[in-house]
Amino acid sequence: MEIDDLVTRMKQGDRRAVGRLISLAENDLAAARGISARIFKDTGKAYIVGVTGAPGAGKSSLVNQLIQLLVNKGARLGIVCVDPTSPFSGGALLGDRIRMKEDYPPGQVFIRSMASRGKLGGIARATKDTISILDAFGLDYIIVETVGVGQNEIDIYNTAYTTLVLLAPGMGDEVQTFKAGIMETSDIYVVNKMDHEGADRLVSEIESMLDLGENTQLTHDDNHVITAIKKSSVAGWRPSIKMTNSLTGEGVSDLWDEVLAHKAFLETSGMLRQRLEHRFKNEIVEILRATFTYHLDEALDPSKNAEVKSLLEAAISRSKSPYDISDSIGKFIIKKIRR
């Protein structure tokens, strides 16, 4: 069987087998299930770091700096670039941008780009499977770069253990970023392009946002009047702010120390367990959604299910309501999933 063979080759260090397994998992749910069955026990060793932020903030440049730093430390890395806007799939664009810059020692860095098109069950599900495969491959760190728009930054927070949110001065989107709820999805803020004017000001802006978020909590009384009250105690991790220049590498080593500090915090506080719970719950929902969507598409395809046409006829003739019909189709799908 192809998957067995590929997994064996992956365990022997064959990078091409890794790439092939990722492609299979991306495009075929049954394959993804089969791969997971063979590798899941070997996962859980890699530390997953998310890098998100506005387009052009310098994410890829920073990742490139992190690669150099970590490769010099002898670590083995996986880089996953998630670009939901890119029409290309597999090994396109962002990955190439990183790859072009440096020649990394063979076997130490594995780079994979992902675009949303053609990813069955969504890019978030495919990203998690990719991470699992790289984890089973035996990499120490997996860095996931994703553009911080819409759902993506929430997905990355649900996937990574430490999430870096990149901001750059002068982009005019600082305040909007906070409003978009990114504050809850950041472990470390990175003010990149520290060589640009306004970097210090941006740091103070983030500081005051954090002060506000830490000390106050919104509440409302019986008349729905919203007020900010002081939080009595503050538990956990206050996101830190680090400045970097991703062209020269300034501040990058310090940033990495902070990532390790956050890792240590998660491990000693028991928060890592909580994150894992959250992450697996999220992953299970994604798999169920993908599975259900797949079977739903199949069930509604007249070439695969002759009954669909007659059900639609029944709706047109008003003998069965759309609710009745969805009940029947729902039951049909559940039977399929049970099999």
Ligand X SMILES: Nc1nc2c(ncn2[C@@H]2O[C@H](COP(=O)(O)OP(=O)(O)OP(=O)(O)O)[C@@H](O)[C@H]2O)c(=O)[nH]1
Residues that bind ligand X (CB under 6 A): 55-61, 94, 147, 192-193, 195-196, 245-247
Nearest CB to ligand X, comparing residues 46 and 147: 147
Q: Which does 247 bind (CB under 5 to 8 A by kind): ligand X, Mg ion, none?
A: ligand X
For the chain, the residue count is: 339
Which of residues 130 and 192 has its CB atom nearest to ligand X in the complex?
192
Q: Which does 245 bind (CB under 5 to 8 A by kind): ligand X, Mg ion, none?
A: ligand X
Distance CA 212, CA 204 (A): 12
Q: Radius of gyration of the chain from Cα atoms?
A: 23
> Do the beta carbons of residue 78 and residue 134 sit within 8 Å?
yes
193-230 as b/e: b if 16+ CB within 10 A: bbeeeebeebbebbeebbeebeeeeeeeeeeeeeeeee
**C-beta of 90: minimal distance to ligand X in Å?**
17
The site partner of 291 among ligand X, Mg ion, none (C-beta below 5 to 8 Å per kind) is: none
Residue closer to ligand X, measured from CB, 104 or 265: 104
C-beta of 25: minimal distance to ligand X in Å? 24
For the CB of residue 246, give the shortest distance to ligand X in the complex, in Å: 4
**Interface pattern 78-117 for Mg ion (x via CB under 5 A):** ----------------x-----------------------
Does 152 help bind Mg ion (rule: CB under 5 A)? no
Q: Which of 174, 156, 205, 201 is nearest to 48 (CA)?
A: 156
Taking CB atoms, the residue at the shortest distance from Mg ion is: 60
- Name which position in 36, 52, 60, 152 contacts Mg ion (CB under 5 A): 60
CA neighbor of 240 nearest in space, from 210, 214, 213, 267: 210
Closest CB to ligand X among residues 57, 160: 57
One-letter identity of residue 274: Q
Q: Are 137 and 125 in contact (CB under 8 A)?
A: no
> Which residues 243-272 are close enough to bind Mg ion by CB under 5 A?
none
Q: Which is nearer to Mg ion, 60 or 130 (CB)?
A: 60
Which of 38, 59, 76, 262 is the binder for Mg ion (CB under 5 A)?
Answer: 59
- Measured from each CB, the residue nearest to ligand X is 58
For 239, the token pair is: 């996101």
Question: Do 120 and 290 meet the contact criterion of CB atoms below 8 Å apart?
Answer: yes
**192/282 with CB nearer ligand X:** 192
244 versus 291: smaller Cβ distance to ligand X: 244
Per DSSP, the three-state class of 235 is coil
Q: Which of 121, 202, 191, 117 is nearest to 155 (CA)?
A: 121
Beta strands 216-220; 226-230: pairing state? antiparallel
Helix (H) or strand (E) holding 262: helix 252-269
